[in-house]
Chain A
Amino acid sequence: MRSKPSAESSNERASLPLTLSAIGALLFLHIPLWLIFLYSFTTDESAYTFPPPALTLKWIPQAIQNTAMQDTLFLTLRVAVLATVAALILGTLAAAAVYRFDFFGKEAISFMLILPLALPGIVTGIAMRSAISLLHIPFTFWTIVIGHATFCVVVVYNNVIARFRRSSNSMIEASMDLGANSFQTFWHVVLPNIGTALMAGAILAFSLSFDEVIVTTFTAGNQQTLPIWIFSQMLKPRNRPITNVTAMLVVLITALPIMFAQRIVAQTSDGEGGSK
């Protein structure tokens, strides 16, 4: 049923050089990842020899039972969840304020909200560290959460405000006109409409927080998050296979939600971005 000639242009085959360079780019990006996966199963204890002398599954239970790994993983998950929750609340409120109301300095606030994401992490890190020291707040688990929340808020804010801009302005008025008060309007109309934007924002925020290193280094006390623990393990060759297994775990924990988030965003045909 090919009736329209215009539809066929999308079926046109890419030229050979274009195909090759696309494959090249993908390999460049992904070969290092595959190597990590491969080395997770090598029998080789301390060195990266290629090809691996033999394959084994023994590192996986060892890595999972490693208490240091467990502790840092659990801490990282708690940080990511709390930073995401804070980002959801603050990001949604900020987006609602910037979208709904006109006030002096609105553009500036919008810009300032996005700034932590655009700034190099090291700048955010130094700034957070000096601010926290200045206020004599001890560096704890909670300072890590605050540090992560700064860039997580942006992701949620970007997603939610893009959704607000696409939705009909009079929908909220229509709901109130039909007898719903502010809370009912939020629950029945606003929330379902920004639901997928919140979900996508939350997943991206979670992934960003989960593998954050730089800001964490500046805002942590003696706590170690998983990425930092992995980095410290790299310096100790005898644990190398365990580190590889952990890295593989991190890839799975962060990549799957991001794929899921992209699905959601594609399904609702949003053009909204917001990744780092």
Chain B
Amino acid sequence: MSEPAILFKNVSRHFGEVKAVDNVQLEVKDGEFFSMLGPSGSGKTTCLRMIAGFDRPTAGQIFLYGQDVSNLPPYERPVNTVFQDYALFPHMTIEDNIAYGLMIKGMPKSERVKKANETLDLVRMPGYGKRKPSQLSGGQRQRVALARALINHPKVLLLDEPLGALDLKLRQQMQVELKNIQREVGITFIFVTHDQEEALTMSDRIAVFNEGNIEQVGTPADVYEHPSTPFVAGFVGTSNLIAGEVAQRITGSPKRFSVRPEKIRLAQMDDQIEGDMFVADGIVRDVIYLGLYTRYLVELEGGGDLVVIEQNLRTSSIDVTKIKNQKTRLLWKKEHVSYVGG
């Protein structure tokens, strides 16, 4: 088994009283597209900055392919960063920006210009070398920032919410491209984001951060289908949490559970119930028609709400709203329930 790309051993970063990162354990595998997902202030960016070397842990150690880098300055670490605001050097041409790392290493001019242009091809921006950053659009600057980091062949590439400033269309396009580029170059990517959809789309694995701790690490399907804490259930996707007496009635256990809205089926009151299904009865309190699908808010007997999403395969907006304030039966497979504790 190869050495993990990044290993956090009991890493903490406290700013006075504030525990930005608190005793975190983390392992990122070689060649992985790994996302750190969490709301702002959850410690994900601080973790990234500690890998880059802009911040030092107040306790614990960080290993990069087995080497303890906890106290190395940024310029001695074989990692590169794509910054949220791109941080391109405004006084240099695109070519010089991209070749900056090579220039520092002392590569001759002609050679590094050639490499810079090859890297521009990689990020699908051939022929832009002679321009200045101010002449590029946001999406183009983003690609240049990526090229500037990739040209150094870092062992790990760190991306700090690089798509945050782009509009939705461009962002979705870049998500696919980033993933393709990562496959092409085979470098470990660590991607920080607060956008759960982005993390689900691109990642091999996701770490969900909350208040300086990691709540769960897993594949996108793991994290989405089987959230292990109430926070993960709520942050990744729609939170559908039921606990206590109502839970007891449905599952036979008072443990808190989560079920994703699209796993639940609206059924007739006299529908057959199979053995691998959970059943709950309730009243439809709200119907929101969203074109592709419809959201139902169902108030369960005995308290608690569940959100149900059904695709509008045959229904129209007029049909779906008819069931408002009607009694309904909800069915979902037992395997789609996650017990989240808390």
A170 touches B87 (CB 8 A): yes
Residues of B within 8 A of A192 (CB): 89, 91
The smallest beta-carbon distance between B18 and chain A, in angstroms, is 15
A174 touches B87 (CB 8 A): yes
Rounded to whole angstroms, the CA-CA distance of A94 and B75 in the bound complex is 25
A180 and B81 in contact (CB under 8 A), knowing A171-B89, A193-B90?
Answer: no
A179 touches B75 (CB 8 A): yes
Interface of A is mostly: helix
Rounded to whole angstroms, the CA-CA distance of A156 and B105 in the bound complex is 33
Name B103's closest neighbour in chain A (CB-CB). A188
Residues of chain B in range 67-97 having any CB-CB distance to chain A below 8 Å: 73-75, 79-81, 83-85, 87-91
Rounded to whole angstroms, the CA-CA distance of A56 and B315 in the bound complex is 101
The smallest beta-carbon distance between B148 and chain A, in angstroms, is 7
B90 touches A178 (CB 8 A): no
A179 and B101 in contact (CB under 8 A), knowing A173-B54, A189-B89?
Answer: yes
Residues of A within 8 A of B152 (CB): 178-179
A179 touches B104 (CB 8 A): yes
Residues of chain B in range 40-74 having any CB-CB distance to chain A below 8 Å: 52-54, 73-74
A193 and B91 in contact (CB under 8 A), knowing A173-B83, A178-B100?
Answer: yes
Residues of B within 8 A of A193 (CB): 89-91
* Residue of A171, A173, A174 with most partner-chain B CB within 10 A: A174
Residues of A within 8 A of B148 (CB): 178
B104 touches A174 (CB 8 A): no
A180 touches B85 (CB 8 A): no
Per-position binary interface string of chain B over residues 185-222, scored 1 when its CB falls under 8 Å from any chain A CB and 0 otherwise: 00000000000000000000000000000000000000
Residues of chain B in range 275-306 having any CB-CB distance to chain A below 8 Å: none
A177 touches B80 (CB 8 A): yes
B89 touches A177 (CB 8 A): no
Rounded to whole angstroms, the CA-CA distance of A170 and B84 in the bound complex is 9
Residues of B within 8 A of A174 (CB): 81, 83, 87-89
Whether A262 is near chain B, meaning CB under 8 Å from some CB there, is no
A177 touches B90 (CB 8 A): no
Rounded to whole angstroms, the CA-CA distance of A177 and B53 in the bound complex is 8
A181 and B75 in contact (CB under 8 A), knowing A173-B54, A175-B100, A192-B91?
Answer: yes
Residues of B within 8 A of A168 (CB): 85, 87, 90
* Residue of B53, B89, B90, B148 with most partner-chain A CB within 10 A: B89
Residues of B within 8 A of A189 (CB): 89
A178 and B85 in contact (CB under 8 A), knowing A192-B91, A193-B90?
Answer: no
B residues lining the A interface (CB < 8 Å)? 52-54, 73-75, 79-81, 83-85, 87-91, 100-101, 103-105, 148-149, 152
Assuming A174-B83, A179-B104, what are 18 further A-B pairs, CB within 8 angstroms? A167-B90, A168-B90, A169-B85, A173-B52, A173-B74, A173-B83, A174-B87, A174-B89, A176-B54, A176-B75, A178-B148, A178-B149, A179-B152, A180-B100, A188-B100, A188-B103, A189-B89, A193-B89
The 9 closest A-B pairs by CB, nearest first: A174-B87, A170-B87, A178-B101, A176-B74, A192-B91, A179-B104, A170-B83, A180-B104, A177-B81
